[in-house]
């Protein structure tokens, strides 16, 4: 009898301690990996995703408190309904209306990306956010000022405690929280995806089918499905821009062959992420298709071999390609309430 009471008490104390730990340590969740997709590259074991961490990252992403004069948030340049990019300017606009030197990149399916920025100068998503925070033409703040401000705020210490176990806010925790949000921005629900999954009643039109064929023949080697990027760098034959003279990947590696090589961007939600290219030189998607048809600099020593035999598209083919590219629009992503401004 004594033994069994002891056992019951022991069992109860185990349950209590588990429940207590449960309250202390938030439950780890995982992102939903779309069927038939490769494994994500991002190492979740170093920054376990939790609902509370995600919500904290979301709040920070939308909070201008991170910028020097509390005027600019990450979302000022990365707007959800345009695929988390900035649409109205060729290059980014930050604090005091200062102009950056590159077109804002869309934030889509980052968990599958190995390198970040147009030149791949950032190799870890978790340290990426240090750049916009400190960049004089973006948020123009110092890490120390951001951390002090967050520690002095009325709500953030409590939120960091819930997410990471204690109140003290550090750069590393700030980066981890922001990353829990950005790494969760997954777009896999476009018409293209639905057709690929053979969802009932959803089919490509004849025009979209012709566009897909052209896409597979001329674009897919770099903009590879299902991510619509092979996550590498290439020169697609754009002439160097006359103003900024951006050499892209060369500035990072110093390898001459990398001149004018840029990150191959995903084409998901491309209908809404205008303007296009690292310097935002094309306003319309039809300008981009026209460029691949007539504008490639075939004399460039850096041009990717994939584009050396560039194809002239007829007017009909251009429309077909465009129709296919529109099937990559994912309204469920662009308007997903989970990613929007937190209430």
Q: Point out which residues bind ligand HEC (CB under 6 A).
A: 61, 66, 72, 74, 76-78, 92, 94, 100, 102, 104-105, 107, 110, 113, 116-118, 128-129, 132-133, 138-139, 178, 182, 218-219, 221-223, 234, 236, 238, 262, 264-265, 267, 270, 273, 276-278, 288-289, 292, 304, 306-307, 321
Q: How far is the CB of 33 from ligand HEC (least distance, A)?
A: 19
The answer to whether 252 touches 119, Cβ cutoff 8 Å, is yes
Q: Which is nearer to ligand HEC, 13 or 142 (CB)?
A: 142
Alpha-carbon distance of 272 to 106, in angstroms, equals: 10
Residue 311 CA, chain-centre distance (Å), reads: 30
Q: How far is the CB of 7 from ligand HEC (least distance, A)?
A: 51
For residue 163, how many other CB atoms are within 10 A of its CB?
20
Q: How far is the CB of 241 from ligand HEC (least distance, A)?
A: 9
Residue 266 CA, chain-centre distance (Å), reads: 9
Q: Which is nearer to ligand HEC, 129 or 163 (CB)?
A: 129
Q: How far is the CB of 313 from ligand HEC (least distance, A)?
A: 8
Q: Which is nearer to ligand HEC, 77 or 169 (CB)?
A: 77
Q: Which is nearer to ligand HEC, 54 or 276 (CB)?
A: 276
- Residue 217 CB burial class (10 angstroms; 0-12, 13-18, ≥19): exposed
Q: How far is the CB of 157 from ligand HEC (least distance, A)?
A: 19
Q: Which is nearer to ligand HEC, 26 or 94 (CB)?
A: 94
Q: How far is the CB of 243 from ligand HEC (least distance, A)?
A: 14
Name which of 308, 113, 306 is nearest 216 in CA terms. 306
Sign of torsion over alpha carbons 249, 255, 258, 264: negative
Alpha-carbon distance of 48 to 93, in angstroms, equals: 33
Q: Which is nearer to ligand HEC, 26 or 83 (CB)?
A: 83
- Could you give the dihedral angle defined by the CA atoms of residues 246, 118, 269 and 73, in that order, rounded to the nearest 10 degrees? -100
């Amino acid at each position: 009898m004594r033994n069994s009471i002891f056992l019951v008490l022991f069992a109860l104390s185990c349950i209590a301690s588990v429940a207590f730990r449960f309250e202390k340590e938030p439950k780890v969740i995982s992102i939903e990996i779309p069927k038939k997709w490769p494994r994500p590259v991002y190492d979740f074991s170093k920054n376990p995703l939790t609902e509370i961490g995600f919500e904290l990252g979301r709040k920070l992403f939308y909070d201008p408190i991170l910028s020097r004069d509390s005027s600019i948030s990450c979302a000022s340049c990365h707007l959800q309904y345009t695929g988390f990019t900035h649409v109205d300017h060729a290059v980014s606009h930050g604090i005091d209306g200062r102009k950056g030197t590159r077109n804002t990149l869309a934030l889509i399916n980052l968990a599958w990306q190995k390198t970040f920025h147009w030149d791949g100068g950032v190799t870890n998503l978790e340290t990426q956010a240090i750049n916009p925070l400190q960049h004089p033409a973006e948020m123009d703040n110092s890490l120390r000022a951001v951390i002090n401000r967050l520690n002095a705020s009325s709500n953030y210490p409590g939120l960091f405690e819930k997410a990471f176990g204690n109140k003290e806010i550090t750069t590393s925790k700030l980066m981890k929280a922001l990353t829990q949000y950005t790494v969760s921005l997954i777009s896999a629900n476009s018409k293209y995806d639905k057709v690929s999954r053979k969802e009932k009643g959803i089919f490509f039109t004849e025009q979209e089918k012709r566009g897909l064929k052209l896409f597979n023949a001329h674009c897919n080697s770099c903009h590879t499905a299902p991510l619509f990027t092979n996550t590498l760098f290439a020169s697609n034959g754009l002439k160097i821009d006359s103003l900024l003279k951006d050499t892209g990947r060369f500035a990072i590696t110093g390898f001459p062959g990398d001149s004018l090589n840029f990150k191959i961007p995903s084409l998901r939600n491309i209908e809404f992420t205008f303007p296009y290219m690292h310097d935002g030189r094309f306003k319309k998607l039809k300008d981009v298709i026209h460029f691949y048809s007539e504008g490639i600099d075939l004399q460039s020593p850096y041009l990717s071999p994939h584009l050396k035999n560039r194809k002239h598209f007829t007017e009909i083919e251009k429309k077909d390609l465009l129709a296919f590219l529109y099937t990559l629009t994912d309204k469920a992503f662009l308007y997903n309430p989970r990613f929007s401004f937190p209430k």
